[in-house]
Amino acid sequence: MATVRFEKAQRWYPGADKPTVPGIDLEIGDGEFMVLVGPSGCGKSTTLRMLAGLEEINAGKIYIGDRDITHVAPKDRDIAMVFQNYALYPHMTVADNMAFALKMAKVPQDEQKRRVAEAAKILGLEEFLERKPKALSGGQRQRVAMGRAIVRNPQVFCMDEPLSNLDAKMRVQTRTDIAKLQADLGVTTVYVTHDQVEAMTMGDRVAVMNYGILQQVDTPLNLYDKPRNLFVAGFIGSPQMNLIQARAVEGKAQIGKYAVPVDPTASRKMEGNITVGVRPEAWRLVSAEQGGLPVHVTVVEELGADGFVYGTSDVEGTPSNVIVRVSGGRDSVRKGDTIHVTTDPVSVHVFDTDSGERLSD
């Protein structure tokens, strides 16, 4: 296996007025599952394709282990790619699809059969080896594409949104399978997705990108608990964090007449316009007499064990929607009600509105 290292790797498409990826610096550990996540057009797939050799690098370098592969042909990089659309040959059986790269590399037939049989056992495809792709479900086709990558014994797996063509239930099952498979094989993996839930549940670390620039590279929990800036705070989390405009007044975040208590470490840095962030689960219900932010309930989303209340507040500075997670006795909150919510200082994230940078420790 091997590490992967990007050193100011840049991709600038001809005719574009700015680079898609201005110059990325990223190191991926040996055997690590690294997820690149961000909105459409943020440069995550371009970054992956630069690693795979499918996109030209205009500046900078890329290393696999100690080997500079910046200008090495894709076939010589020892990388296996899993695509969004499976890219299976329809006229070949599952076994032939999985063995195709080995056949092109002139691997002996006995070795081809052995590797295909091993991969099929790992992926639960043994009974499907003689079928054609059209006779398989979407999840099974994706496993065939994974098997084709596994049989090559590559140093690095590159996966470009491999689950986006699957239905919701199959996506949950297949992402669990991929995460377990990667952990069992220990192959360094770079995985691209726009789905932040997928990123949070699969990656050892997650790299959040926007406009080709890394916003934060961290463990899923650190991204959730300590987002570095407003972009990461708003992108990571489902439902997303409540981001509310406020002003710093005497160490508190003032929203209209409501003062949000903040942690002392943040209050010392606050001045002028700030944005406070509160996760839906960090709100707690209080009575009108206790004060709190008033929220007029527009939708109650029941999810079984808990639920989400979506509402609006007429307090100046609040967003169009305020989201509150409720559990146990949630039947007491109904559409049309007005509830009051507050939170604890340690649960409030504070950001500088102008720069977007985090002020909380």
Residue-wise pLDDT tens digits, 64-103: 999 999 999 998 999 999 988 888 999 999 999 999 989 9
pLDDT beneath 70: ranges in the chain: 1, 328-331
The boundaries of every CATH 3.40.50.300 domain in the chain are 4-229
pLDDT at 126: 92
Buried b (16+ CB within 10 A) or exposed e, 55-71: bebbebebbbbeeebbe
Cα(125)–Cα(112) distance, integer angstroms: 16
For 351, other C-beta atoms within 10 Å of its C-beta total: 26
CATH number of the structural domain 4-229: 3.40.50.300
Q: What is the DSSP string of 255-301?
A: ETTEEEP--HHHHTT--SEEEEEE-GGG-EEE-GGG--EEEEEEEEE
Cα(40)–Cα(20) distance, integer angstroms: 12
Residue among 311, 348, 336 at smallest CA distance from 326: 311
pLDDT at 328: 61
Query: What does pTM read for this prediction?
Result: 0.90
pLDDT at 236: 95
Tokens of 44: 């995550």
Label the pairing between strands 338-342 and 67-68: unpaired
> Nearest 10 degrees: CA dihedral of 247, 252, 255, 261?
150
Q: What is the DSSP string of 59-72?
A: EEEEEETTEE-TTS
What CATH architecture is 239-352? Beta Barrel (2.40)
The boundaries of every CATH 2.40.50.140 domain in the chain are 239-352
Cα(326)–Cα(256) distance, integer angstroms: 25
